[in-house]
Amino acid sequence: MLKKISLLLSIVLLVAAGICSASDYTPRPGVLSPEQVDFEGKTVTILVGDLGYMGPYGGEPNPERMAEAEALFNVKIELQHLGTVNVADTIIARIMSGDAALDIIRMPHRYGYYSLVSSNMLMAMNKILPQAYWDSLPRVDRYTIEKLGYAGNFYGFGIVYGLFNPSMMFATYNKDIIERENLPDPYELYLAGEWSYETLTQLAIAATKDTDGDGTPDQFGIDQRMISHDTRIYRLAAANGAEIAKPDENGRWVYTFNQPEAIDVMNQVVDWRYNLKVSGGSFSGGTALFYMQTNLAGTPGGYPNFGLVPIPSFTPGEYKYPAYDFAMNMLPINSAYPEGLIALVDFLFREEDGEINLDYHINTYMKTQDHFNMFMDAIESWQGEGDPFQDMFWRTMQPHVISVIEAEKGAQATMDEIAPQIQAMIDDLFKQK
């Protein structure tokens, strides 16, 4: 059935590709049409960050559409890959040297977005584009741009995702262990609105056992790697509604990782590791029931007969799908022709690209109809959840979070203890008094 769905989607996409020529293209509100833009043969450089998970083109433009754009906009387009190291420094150097005048920055937030925007290196796009433009964007891109708003402005524009954020995180489980141990299927619990940390813990306890009779457990409920590092905790906590900082009712950013949404998750991890002793083994090796967090592209390297469910929350039936990347198109503060670059991005990157990416994910990563149904539910439900402060606060918090999940210190006291330091960093980032 899954391949039939994929085949049907592929046929629809092929038809769409055949009719989406320049004559059918309509700019979004406030965006110039191709005939209104002339780059006079100059070169536009698209700086592409770590977007390999974006499917067939890896975050680059469709090659045929790029060639069409070069003719329509009288422009030469070059692609430059930013890599994963010193990304913000590379961008700042281009801005300060004057080389960024016709740059388009297209990258995930965690490679220095907040460093760039807080240093006044990016152009506020809401000062150029009308409200109708933002209303016209696909919901996933709109949520991303809104989430990364800064000082009342939007610094992203256009489409990166179109349909879904491929970095959304899920939990996977070993279906062979479920069947062999005659345990309730997590996917059925999810459908019934009964999937939660409580039901996951019950399954993890039941799955942890000594299967070879040597007196030591060799099958476990949870792959230890998924709950033994602070980066895992921020993503697990986000599925329970926790983020390191959130804006309050007045729009002021405040530290929130000492609230129950985060504390309960850290206490649960400690319970799994040290009290219940249900963590260990290897999901890919077939000796752990749950792999607590992965995006869909991470599943083929895991156990082949896997099920897919949301990372649970403490409230049965309430699910979030935290993303680890929030990518946007951005322009440098000294952009020489923002209206033309906005038009070029609007032409190059379309909503149908997200559909092509979905087709790619279906054919490459999904194994069952349940996988497809789960993923589509996530696409419909995602509203920007995920902690966005990886490049800002995670390193400072790391030793404190690790001390909690290694049962050296209590969660509440430790997160309260670090609160003034993180709040001061938040105030500095957002220039709050």
In tens digits, what is the pLDDT along the chain, a chain of 433 residues? 444 344 445 434 443 443 344 558 999 999 999 999 999 999 999 999 999 888 889 999 999 999 999 999 999 999 999 999 999 999 999 999 999 999 999 999 999 999 999 999 999 999 999 999 999 999 999 999 999 999 999 999 999 999 999 999 999 999 999 999 999 999 999 999 999 999 999 999 999 999 999 999 999 999 999 899 999 999 999 999 999 999 999 999 999 999 999 999 999 999 999 999 999 999 999 999 999 999 988 876 667 899 999 999 999 999 999 999 999 999 999 999 999 999 999 999 999 999 999 999 999 999 999 999 999 999 999 999 999 999 899 999 999 999 999 999 999 999 999 999 999 999 999 999 8
SS3 string of the chain? Answer: CHHHHHHHHHHHHHHHHHHCCHHHCCCCCCCCCHHHCCCCCCEEEEEECCCHHHCCCCCCCCHHHHHHHHHHCCCEEEEEECCCCCHHHHHHHHHHHCCCCCEEEEEEHHHCHHHHHHCCCECCHHHCCCHHHHHHCCHHHHHHHHHCCECCECCCECCCCCCCCCCECEEEEEHHHHHHCCCCCHHHHHHCCCCCHHHHHHHHHHHCECCCCCCCCCEEEECHHHHCCHHHHHHHHHHCCCCCEEECCCCCEEECCCCHHHHHHHHHHHHHHHHCCCECCCCCCCCEEEEEEECHHHCCCCCCCEEEECCCCCCCCCCCCCECCCEEEECECCCCCHHHHHHHHHHHCCHHHHHHHHHHHHHHHCCCHHHHHHHHHHHHHCCCCCCCCCCCCHHHHHHHHHHHHCCCCCHHHHHHHHHHHHHHHHHHHCCCC
Cβ distance 323 to 385 under 8 Å?
yes
- Taking only the tens place, the pLDDT of each residue in 181-239 is 999 999 999 999 999 999 999 999 999 999 999 999 999 999 999 899 999 999 999 99
Q: Does the reported pTM lie above 0.85?
A: yes
**Parallel, antiparallel, or unpaired for β 253-255 and 245-247?**
antiparallel
Q: Is residue 119 part of a domain?
A: yes
Q: Is residue 268 part of a domain?
A: yes
Pairwise CA distance, residues 64 & 52, whole Å: 19
Q: Is residue 337 part of a domain?
A: yes
Q: Which two tokens stand for residue 355?
A: 């559909």
Pair (214, 259) in one structural domain: yes
Q: Is residue 381 part of a domain?
A: no
Pair (154, 34) in one structural domain: yes
Domain count, the chain: 2
Phi, psi of 191 (to 5 degrees): -60, -35
Pair (24, 119) in one structural domain: yes
- By residue count, the chain amounts to 433
Alpha carbon 376 to its chain centroid, in Å, reads: 16
Pair (423, 280) in one structural domain: yes
Q: Is residue 376 part of a domain?
A: no
Pair (228, 287) in one structural domain: yes
Please report the pLDDT score of residue 3 as a whole number. 44
- Taking only the tens place, the pLDDT of each residue in 349-381 is 999 999 999 999 999 999 999 999 999 999 999
Alpha carbon 362 to its chain centroid, in Å, reads: 18
Pair (256, 159) in one structural domain: no
Domain that holds residue 423: 170-322+393-429
Pair (34, 90) in one structural domain: yes
**Parallel, antiparallel, or unpaired for β 76-81 and 43-48?**
parallel
CATH of the domain at 20: 3.40.190.10
Please report the pLDDT score of residue 157 as a whole number. 98
Q: Is residue 280 part of a domain?
A: yes
Instruction: Give the other-Cβ count within 10 Å of 313's Cβ.
Output: 22
Please report the pLDDT score of residue 391 as a whole number. 87
Q: Is residue 383 part of a domain?
A: no
Q: Which two tokens stand for residue 59?
A: 């975050």
176 exposed, middle or buried (CB, 10 Å; 0-12, 13-18, 19+)? middle
Q: Is residue 384 part of a domain?
A: no
Pair (32, 145) in one structural domain: yes
Please report the pLDDT score of residue 15 as a whole number. 39
Find, among 431, 433, 432, 421, the residue nearest to 393 by Cα: 421
Pair (302, 183) in one structural domain: yes
Pair (273, 415) in one structural domain: yes
Pair (247, 308) in one structural domain: yes
**Parallel, antiparallel, or unpaired for β 170-174 and 288-294?**
antiparallel
- Taking only the tens place, the pLDDT of each residue in 56-68 is 899 999 999 999 9
Pair (265, 343) in one structural domain: no
